[in-house]
Amino acid sequence: MSSAKSITWDQLEVAAEELFRVLGASEMEWARQTWKLLAERGLTAAPNELARHRAAIRFLTLALIYHDFCYHAWKKDVPPHLADWAYYLELQPLRIGQLLGPEVPLSGAASDAEALEAALAELTRRERPVLFRAMVDALGSPSRVFVALWRTGERPGAPGGGNGNGRASDEAILNDLSFEKIDAFEFVSKGFPPRPRRQARPTQTTLDLGDLGITL
C-alpha cells in the first residue's frame, strides 16, 4: 500500500474482507460508512509513511471494536490476529516502533511475532477513545453509535431486517432490551474498552521486530 494524502476505502477493501469477517451480514457496509466518517474528521490522513501507519492502526482498531461488539452483542467470538492483519496493511516494524515509543513493556511476548501482536494491541488500545469520540461526534450520541453497530446483525429479507419493510426503528432497538444488548450497549457507552483475551498465535507474519528496540 503506497503513501497517499489519505487511506481510502478502495485501498482497504481487500483487507477489510479479512478483518471484518464475523457475521457475514452488514459489517462491511458499516465499516465502509464508519471509515468515511473518520476520513471526514481527518483521522485517515496519510501524508507520509508514519501517518499512514497511524491511520492503518486506526483501521485495525475499528476491526477490533467490531469484533468486541459482536462478542458482547451476540457472543460471536472470532479471535483477531493483529500480527497477521498487519501483513495485509504492509505495516513495518520501524514505524510501529516509532508509534509505540521507547521503553514500552510488552509483557508475555516470547517471540518477535508475539511482540508484534502485543505492540499492535497497545497501539490499538490507545486509538479506541479517538475513534469513540469521532463516531459520537458524527452520529450524535453513544446510543446512535450502538444502533449503527447493532444493525450490522440484520440480514436482507429477515423479519425486522434491512429489507426496507418492517425494519426496526432506532427507538425500538434501544428499548427492546436483553442481557446481551445491555452488555453491548455498556461496551459502547464506556468508549469501546478492550476485551481481555488470550493472545492469538500469529500464523503469517514474518516481520523482524529487532527494529523496535525491545528486549524479550
Q: What is the pLDDT of residue 166?
A: 54
96 part of a folded domain: yes
51 part of a folded domain: yes
Count CB-CB contacts under 10 A for residue 108: 11
Give the Cα separation of 152 and 23 in Å (integer).
8
Per-residue confidence of the chain (216 residues) as pLDDT tens digits? 444 589 999 999 999 999 998 988 789 999 999 999 999 999 999 999 999 999 999 999 999 999 999 999 999 998 888 988 999 999 998 999 999 987 676 666 667 788 888 899 999 999 999 999 999 999 999 999 999 999 999 765 444 444 344 578 888 899 988 888 999 999 999 999 998 765 545 444 444 445 544 443
2 part of a folded domain: no
Number of folded domains that form the chain? 1
Give the Cα separation of 103 and 112 in Å (integer).
16
48 part of a folded domain: yes
Domain of residue 29: give its range. 9-155+162-212
Say what the pTM is. Answer: 0.83
22 part of a folded domain: yes
1 part of a folded domain: no
* Residue 67 contacts residue 31 (beta carbons within 8 Å): no
Which residues sit opposite 6 in a β-bridge?
45
Count CB-CB contacts under 10 A for residue 120: 25
128 part of a folded domain: yes
Return the closest-CA partner of residue 58 out of 148, 2, 160, 126: 126
Q: What is the pLDDT of residue 198?
A: 59
4 part of a folded domain: no
